Amino acid sequence: MSNKMWGGRFSSAPDAIMEEINASIGFDYRFALQDIKGSLAHVSMLAETGIVSKETAKSIEQGLTQILAEIESGTFTFSRALEDIHMNVEGRLAEIVGPEAGRLHTARSRNDQVALDFRLWIRDTIDQLDRQILDLQQALAEKALAHAASIMPGFTHLQSAQPVTLGHHLLAYVEMLGRDRGRFQDARRRLNECPLGSAALAGTSFPIDRHMTAQALGFDRPTANSLDSVSDRDFVLETLSAAAITAVHLSRFAEEIVLWVTPQFGFARLSDGFTTGSSIMPQKRNPDAAELVRGKSGRMIGSLTALLIVMKGLPLAYSKDMQEDKEGTFDALQSLSLCLAAINGMVLDLQPDLKKLKTSAGAGYATATDLADWLVKTLKLPFRRAHHVTGELVGMASVRGIGLEKLSLEEMQKVEPGITQDVFSVLGVDKSVRSRTSYGGTAPANVRSQAKAWLKKLDRLK
């Protein structure tokens, strides 16, 4: 027996293996809301243009509304034999409405239908992710404001470099997430064109009104080329690219959390809510939530790579290969949503050890640059000469296992006779961070100003 939805050309049912590889209802059921929304807009347009009668359109609209209620209540039965969400909805519509249900598919194809559903789903998902990113930025900015003057070590090469403040460090991630929001918003703007009415690949001879359906579905305009409309997956690739970059940012922060909560660093503590124990070692507190965020970033990057590889060799227009665009996308964006929630929870939960942070900030000769700057500003030495003098003093202190501030004035003057007692005024970590007043610098006043500016901006965006 052939498939009644497309079986006129076929006299027998597909092989079981063919059904197994071909069916997508196991994952594209997620398009149910978008599919029905698109069908409602389409049938309304068909009635408005006189392609179907208003009575038929009303009957189809009622049937679609009933199907949506069944799906939302969990009473709808999805059939693998009907392949995908489009055929499942249409099959149930035929049971409710009768043969007139077949008029719904006038002037459209599953090719433009899935392109529409996917754009609607991606658009909805971007909006959800945008809210989550805003929430995370808010949590980070609030914590940054609270710790605008809390001193911690700044690193390069994971080696102590210069003292910074914890607030300054957290605001770096607020900036990253701001760029992430921008990338998602750019992708959303570009995808907001409606492919419905492109049909299989060439458009249709029916007198449809594509501007009407585009407007009804909240798009800026209809797509301009029917071939491109059904074969384009740039909007998925752009969204996955934005997701992958966001995942990298979350993973970097997760890695820092993993380091911070180790006894070796001891910079912060996570509560029981975001740690797990060991089945054999009773002393362990494992930062599993952070580790999983770090791990899931690989899956998101992999989803982008997989779809790029699928698309790279496809001629126009639609090919069944493109069915592989969905599972990885669903997984990646669901994973991103979960990771955003997890990082947000950890930001709120994280308790920094301010004493340990400040002590560590002074380790590793972190104020050496302040000494070099003092030599330039006070003694008017060329920076390269100041750098060399400072290096000698660091070497001298290192041999003795003491900090720069523990060297005597006489010892310093053996390296550079012009050094005065005033040099000790720049060797403390508090003085160091307060001196970094350049725009974007770590001075507490700067951090407070930036944190407040972000919080004001985020409040406007919500």
Catalytic residue numbers, as ranges:
157, 278
- Secondary structure class of 196 (helix, strand, coil): coil
Q: How far is CA 66 from CA 51, 72, 426, in A?
A: 23, 10, 74
At 15, list the tokens. Answer: 């092989």
How far is C-alpha 420 from the chain's CA centre? 52
Run of H or E residues at 437: none
Q: How far is CA 239 from CA 98, 319, 321, 326, in A?
A: 39, 21, 19, 12
Q: Read off φ and ψ for residue 54, nearest 5 degrees.
A: -65, -30
Instruction: Name the burial class of residue 459, with classes exposed (0-12), middle (13-18) and buried (19+) by CB atoms within 10 angstroms of its CB.
Output: exposed
- Which DSSP category does 13 fall into? P
Run of H or E residues at 153: strand 151-156
At 2, list the tokens. Answer: 């052939």
Run of H or E residues at 194: strand 193-194
Q: Are 230 and 200 in contact (CB under 8 A)?
A: yes
Return the beta strands (E) in 311-412 as ranges.
351-352
- Secondary structure class of 59 (helix, strand, coil): helix
Q: How many angstroms separate the CA atoms of 14 and 34, rounded?
A: 28
